[in-house]
C-alpha cells in the first residue's frame, strides 16, 4: 500500500498516518493517535527515572564525594573541584550531543533525550536546594555506594525502557545496543571507568574504589531493568511423550510450546523436540510438570534474554506490556 507521503525512508503505512524512519531506524515523522497513550506513558517514566537518578546523585554521590561515570561524572568532578552546579554543567556539556542526537536518533527519540536531560538538570537543581531527608552516610561509603548504584541505575534503566536518554554517554550506549548488540550497562561501565580514572587527581583511592562499586551496581541494575523483566528460561525437552508434555504445559501452566523435529545421532530415531520459554519463577513448576508425565525425559534449560511476544511483552489480547 502506497501513499502520497511515500519516500525511500518509508517503512509502513497505517490508516491513521505514516511512519518514517531515518538511517538509525528511529521514527522521525508524524505521531498518530494510536501512539499518544504510549508517548504519554514514556514521558511519565522518563520524568520518574530522571527524578530517581537526580535523587541518587544528590543524596549519595554529592554528599559522600562519590563520582559517577560518563558526562554525569564530569559534572560531579566540576562540582567537587570548581563548585560548578551539576544542574547547569549537565546542560552545557550536552548541547553538542543534542545536535548529534537530532541527526542520528530521529525526532521522537531526540525529544525524549531533550526531556530526559532537561528533567535531570531540573531535579538536580531541586534536590540540591530542597533537601527533605538527612542521610548521613559519610562513615559507611559501602552503603552510600550501594544505594547510589541502585537509585541511579534504576532511574537510568527506567529512562532507557521508556525510549529516552539523559544525554551524554547514554546516546552512545543506546546506539551500541541497537546496532552492535552491546550491553548498555557494560558499554556505560567502560566509559564510566575512563572518567573515574581521570578523577583520581581529586579523589582519594578509598573514594575511587567505592565509586567503582556504585558504578558497577548501577550497570547491573540498568541491565536488569532493560532485560530482566523480559528474560526467562528456555527449555528443550526430548521425550517419547512430547505430545502429553505439551498438553500438560498448556493446561497446568497456560504456556505454549513449539514442536521441532529431531533425530538421534546414535540411534537414528526420529523424535519430537519441545521448545518452551517460561519465566524464571516458573522453572520449578515446569520441571514438575515434565516429571509428572515422563520422569525419564531429557531436559536442557538455558537463559533466554530479550524475550518478546505473548506472555512476556504482550498480554493475551496482543497488547504491549512494555513501558
Q: What is the CATH number of the domain that holds 255?
A: 3.30.70.120
Indicate whether 57 and 133 sit together in one domain: yes
Indicate whether 175 and 253 sit together in one domain: no
Indicate whether 118 and 209 sit together in one domain: yes
- The structural domain count of the chain equals 2
Indicate whether 160 and 115 sit together in one domain: yes
User: Is residue 237 very low, low, confident or very high in pLDDT (cuts 50, 70, 90)?
Assistant: very high
Tens-digit pLDDT profile for residues 97-107: 777 666 666 67
Indicate whether 118 and 251 sit together in one domain: no
Within a domain: residue 264? yes
Q: Please give the pLDDT value at position 103.
A: 65
Indicate whether 133 and 180 sit together in one domain: yes
Tens-digit pLDDT profile for residues 125-159: 999 999 888 887 877 899 999 999 999 999 999 99
Indicate whether 166 and 112 sit together in one domain: yes
Indicate whether 158 and 252 sit together in one domain: no
Question: Residues 24-48: what's their mean pLDDT?
Answer: 67
Indicate whether 114 and 189 sit together in one domain: yes
Helix/strand/coil (H, E, C) string of the chain?
CCCCCCCCCEEEEECCEEEEECCCCCECCCCCHHHHHHHHHHHHHHHHHHHHHHHHHHHHHHCCCCCCCHHHHHHHHHHHHHCCCHHHHHHHHHHHHHHHHHHHCCHHHHHHHHHHHHHHHHHHHHHHHCCCCCCCCCCCHHHHHHHHHHHHHHHHHHHHHCCCCCCCHHHHHHHHHHHHCCCHHHHHHHHHHHHHHHHHHCCCHHHHHHHHHHHHHHHHHHHHHHHHHHCEEEEEEECCCHHHHHHHHHHHHCCCCEEEEEECCCCCCEEEEEEEEECHHHHHHHHHHHHHHCCCCEEEEEEECCCCCECCCECCCCCECCC
Within a domain: residue 215? yes
Indicate whether 239 and 218 sit together in one domain: no
Indicate whether 153 and 92 sit together in one domain: yes
Print the domain residue range for 253: 232-304
Indicate whether 276 and 215 sit together in one domain: no
User: Is residue 318 very low, low, confident or very high in pLDDT (cuts 50, 70, 90)?
Assistant: low
Amino acid at each position: 500500500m502506497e501513499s502520497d507521503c511515500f519516500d525511500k525512508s518509508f517503512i509502513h503505512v497505517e490508516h491513521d498516518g505514516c511512519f518514517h524512519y531515518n538511517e538509525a531506524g528511529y521514527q522521525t515523522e508524524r505521531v498518530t493517535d494510536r501512539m499518544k497513550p504510549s508517548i504519554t506513558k514514556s514521558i511519565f517514566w522518563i520524568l520518574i527515572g530522571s527524578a530517581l537518578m537526580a535523587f541518587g546523585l544528590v543524596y549519595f554521590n554529592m554528599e559522600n564525594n562519590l563520582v559517577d561515570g560518563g558526562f554525569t561524572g564530569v559534572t560531579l568532578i566540576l562540582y567537587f573541584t570548581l563548585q560548578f552546579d551539576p544542574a547547569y554543567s549537565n546542560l552545557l556539556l550536552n548541547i553538542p550531543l543534542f545536535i548529534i542526537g537530532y541527526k542520528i536518533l530521529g525526532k521522537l527519540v531526540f525529544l525524549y533525550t531533550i526531556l530526559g536531560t532537561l528533567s535531570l538538570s531540573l531535579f538536580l537543581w531541586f534536590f540540591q536546594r530542597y533537601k527533605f531527608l538527612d542521610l548521613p552516610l559519610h562513615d559507611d561509603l559501602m552503603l552510600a555506594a550501594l544505594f547510589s548504584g541502585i537509585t541511579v541505575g534504576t532511574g537510568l534503566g527506567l529512562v532507557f525502557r521508556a525510549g529516552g536518554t539523559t544525554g551524554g554517554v547514554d546516546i552512545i550506549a543506546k546506539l551500541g545496543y541497537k546496532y552492535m548488540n552491546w550491553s548498555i550497562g557494560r558499554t556505560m561501565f567502560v566509559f564510566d571507568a575512563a572518567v573515574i580514572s581521570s578523577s583520581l587527581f581529586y579523589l582519594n583511592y578509598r573514594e575511587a574504589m567505592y565509586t567503582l562499586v556504585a558504578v558497577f551496581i548501577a550497570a547491573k541494575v540498568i541491565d536488569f531493568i532493560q532485560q530482566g523483566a523480559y528474560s526467562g528460561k528456555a527449555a528443550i525437552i526430548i521425550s517419547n511423550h512430547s505430545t502429553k508434555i505439551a498438553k500438560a504445559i498448556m493446561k497446568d501452566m497456560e504456556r505454549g510450546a513449539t514442536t521441532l523435529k529431531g533425530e538421534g545421532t546414535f540411534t537414528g530415531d526420529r523424535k519430537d523436540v519441545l521448545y518452551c520459554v517460561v519465566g524464571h519463577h516458573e522453572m520449578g513448576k515446569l520441571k514438575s510438570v515434565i516429571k509428572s508425565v515422563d520422569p525419564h525425559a531429557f531436559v536442557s534449560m538455558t537463559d533466554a534474554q530479550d524475550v518478546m511476544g505473548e506472555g512476556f511483552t504482550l498480554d493475551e489480547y496482543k497488547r504491549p506490556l512494555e513501558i
